[in-house]
Chain A
Amino acid sequence: MPVSLASYLALSAILFTIGVAGVLTRRNAIVVFMCIELMLNSVNLTLIAFSSFMGDITGQVLVFFVMAVAAAEAAVGLAIVISLFRNKQTVNIDEINILKW
């Protein structure tokens, strides 16, 4: 039995929500970072699902772009986390709050 579009979208929505919840609640920068990746990938899933069901290749092309950008973002993001850790001996984002009044 083929999986329906609605199931894909539901899974995608669940993943996205988990990602948002993680970003908002977790304190470890690495985990927050992984949650962002989760959100990106949930969107990717949506795109592929639509692409497959509508017979349009554009969605899959877009996914490749997202993955490329996500890879670049991961490189930069992890570099920031490492340099933060070197300076402050912590990756807790509620301790990294010096950009304020």
Chain B
Amino acid sequence: MAHQLIGYAVFLPLLGFLINGLVGRKLRSENLVGIIGSATVGIGFVIACVIFFEMMGSGVEERVHIVHLFSWISAGSLNVSFAYQVDQLSVLMMLIVTGVGFLIHVYSIGYMHGDPGFWRFFAYMNLFIFAMLNLVLADNFLLLFLGWEGVGLCSYLLIGFWYDRKFEKGTTGDAAKKAFIVNRIGDFGFLIGMFLIFVTFGTLNFQGVFAQAGTMSVGSPVIFWMTLALFVGATGKSAQIPLFVWLPDAMAGPTPVSALIHAATMVTAGVYMVARCSLLYALAPATMEIVAIIGAATALLAATIGLVQNDIKKVLAYSTVSQLGYMFLALGVGAFAAGLFHLMTHAFFKALLFLGSGSVIHAMHGEQDIQKMGGLKKYLPITYWTFFIAMIAIAGIFPFSGFFSKDEILWKVFSNGTWGLWLVGLVGAALTAFYMSRLTVLTFDGEKRWGSDKHPHESPKTMTVPLIILALLSVVGGFVGVPASLGGGNAIDHWLEPVFERANLVMALPGHGMETIEYVLMALSVGVGVGGILLARLWYLKKQEVPQQLSTKVPGLYKLLWNKYYVDEAYDAAVVTPIQKSSETLLWRIVDVGMIDGLVNGLAKFFGGVSKVIRMGQTGVAQNYVFVFLLGVVVILGWLIAH
């Protein structure tokens, strides 16, 4: 009956948020604030583990529970409850959110040490965990949307956490606003999708919707529009083309935030949502195709940008966008379990990479430019080795976790017959290996390129222990999904099978059967991974002139990548500037000043003029008033007598 505890797991972080947010400043103890913040999430993780093991021990049919807490909205035919759907998918997400979240909370105790907003940071982080748990556990679309908006809010608050610091052309507050507004655009799509679902099915409950969706025919237009609108929401939250522009800017926040929210958990919300609605997507093959193409395009686009960036967190940010692209690519070809598998392994190694970069930034007193690093291996051994492991994992080298998940995706894409997308994915994998290796080499290897004013030192235990744990997970995390061709049982695939059963039935995917090709593909992807790593090592350690020559040989391409394909500039020109200009001239000067102010001031002027005439009657001489009064009496008396 452990699933009945789910309410505690969700609401404890809210309690932590309230304590830290309301009285955290008065506690005057970083340790106390940190322990409250971490413990509430840690208990959530313990509960998640207990539920998980209880599920393992019970039969497949008895693994889905709905825990109803209280009724939320009841209006007409709309009934929405605070009810949590505990099943294989949500428990997996819950384990990732609370587990990685707990480690990052512990890490933050060390990283945020001495910050005047320490208590505020932990309050926001706890609120984020609360919102994220609502998102992944909700049993209806509206509660999911509550969590969806909640994580967006926390993301905004945490990106702008150091609201007075400069960031690129503005302040971190600008980056926070950008993230929030771009997310709002996506959320609008999500809302439309939700309205369509309610109009079509008359309910927002997952079970109710999916039960009725089963009777719809494949490719019906309403399902297409529904899924497409929901996917627009996913592109916003999960940073896909065309709404990915906010994620690189989100790096303005403290590094643990980048690790937790903008790499491991929140940005995967879109992937989770599409997986949760797998049946709807399976019924809309056209949307699936769009999802796959957007995913592949994002994976390639972000990877190419990552090749030339010099900010350590920027490279990781584009890498995140790219890896999210892989997840959507998997979802788009119907490999929902593979997408979730990659989500999990990515949570491990990307959180590790961000925390490692945080450790480096911490050691370098806030320096983020990898051109001004180098040779840090000696000074930060633990950070270096854990970072190295994560780099190998993300590059997809056997037998690290990234290999299994990425290979699963590529294999599913290939066996689905979408060769072009597979090739894009493979090229993306090679680029990933290259830029991650470049990042590692420039940061940790080679000569030191920093001044004598810096004294790098290894981070405290609260920071290194989470690094080591995440490194272990990055190594072994893939073993839950060893494919059959390598003698594994693909446990995660089987675990999630009941969730995606109906979607898979609709899609009728081709079964396995070309094992030799699978081996060839594996060798190929490991080959490009190793090749990418070695090439970067060669270019950035031994032959440092090669990248220089390349950038001068194809300056156009280099500039294009360096400026991120000018996407931000294009959006500025196409959307931001026209809105600002039209607001200024039309809305402000004409509508606001001319019409609204004119109306208000005109009314006042009119009454002022009329009053000026009427007030002449107020002479101030009492006898005039008496005379008028008398006249009135005479008129009334006359009227009474006449009638």
Q: Which residues of A contact B (CB under 8 A)?
A: 20, 23-25, 32, 93-94, 96-101
Contact = CB atoms under 8 A, between A and B. Distances in A.
A11 B616 CA distance: 39
A99 B624 CA distance: 13
Contacts of A97: 619-621
B622 A100 contact: no
Contacts of B621: 93-94, 97
Interface string B575-617: 0000000000000000000000000000000000000000110
A97 B624 CA distance: 11
Nearest to A93: B622
A101 B623 contact: no
Given A93-B623, A94-B623, A24 B630 contact: yes
B619 A100 contact: yes
Contacts of B622: 93, 96
Nearest 9 CB-CB pairings of A with B? A100-B620, A97-B620, A101-B615, A97-B621, A99-B620, A100-B618, A101-B618, A94-B621, A93-B622
Given A24-B626, A24-B627, A93-B622, 19 more contacts: A20-B630, A23-B623, A23-B626, A24-B623, A24-B630, A25-B623, A32-B623, A93-B621, A93-B623, A94-B621, A94-B623, A96-B622, A97-B620, A97-B621, A98-B620, A99-B620, A100-B618, A100-B619, A100-B620
A23 B618 CA distance: 19
Nearest to B622: A93
Nearest to B619: A100
Contacts of A94: 621, 623
A20 B629 CA distance: 11
A20 B623 CA distance: 11
Contacts of B627: 24
Contacts of B623: 23-25, 32, 93-94
A83 to B, nearest CB: 16
Q: Is the interface of B mostly helix, strand, loop or mixed?
A: helix
Nearest to B614: A101
Contacts of A20: 630
A100 B622 CA distance: 10
26 contacts: A20-B630, A23-B623, A23-B626, A24-B623, A24-B626, A24-B627, A24-B630, A25-B623, A32-B623, A93-B621, A93-B622, A93-B623, A94-B621, A94-B623, A96-B622, A97-B619, A97-B620, A97-B621, A98-B620, A99-B620, A100-B618, A100-B619, A100-B620, A101-B615, A101-B616, A101-B618
Contacts of B615: 101
A34 to B, nearest CB: 15
A74 B616 CA distance: 32
A85 to B, nearest CB: 16
A15 to B, nearest CB: 16
B619 to A, nearest CB: 6
Nearest to A101: B615
B66 to A, nearest CB: 74
A81 to B, nearest CB: 12
B610 to A, nearest CB: 13
A90 to B, nearest CB: 14
A30 B178 CA distance: 79
A98 B623 CA distance: 13
Contacts of B619: 97, 100
A96 B616 CA distance: 17
Nearest to A23: B626
A32 B626 CA distance: 11
A97 B627 CA distance: 15
Contacts of B630: 20, 24
Contacts of A93: 621-623
Nearest to A94: B621
A94 to B, nearest CB: 6
A93 B619 CA distance: 12
B559 to A, nearest CB: 73
A98 B620 CA distance: 6
Contacts of B616: 101
Contacts of A96: 622
Interface in B192-212: none
Contacts of A101: 615-616, 618
Interface string B289-313: 0000000000000000000000000
Contacts of A24: 623, 626-627, 630
A53 B356 CA distance: 114
A63 B548 CA distance: 116
Nearest to B633: A20
A100 B619 CA distance: 6
A20 B187 CA distance: 79
A97 B620 CA distance: 4
Nearest to B621: A97
Contacts of A32: 623
B631 to A, nearest CB: 11
A24 B626 CA distance: 7
A94 B619 CA distance: 10
A54 B616 CA distance: 49
A101 to B, nearest CB: 4
A96 B624 CA distance: 12
Contacts of A100: 618-620
A98 B618 CA distance: 10
Contacts of A98: 620
A67 B616 CA distance: 38
B128 to A, nearest CB: 63
A24 B622 CA distance: 9
A23 B627 CA distance: 9
Interface in B625-643: 626-627, 630
Contacts of A99: 620
A37 to B, nearest CB: 15
Nearest to B627: A24
A93 B630 CA distance: 18
A20 B630 CA distance: 9
A92 to B, nearest CB: 10
Interface in B293-335: none
A94 B622 CA distance: 8
Contacts of B620: 97-100
A100 B618 CA distance: 5
A32 B627 CA distance: 13
A74 to B, nearest CB: 17
A25 B624 CA distance: 10
A93 B620 CA distance: 10
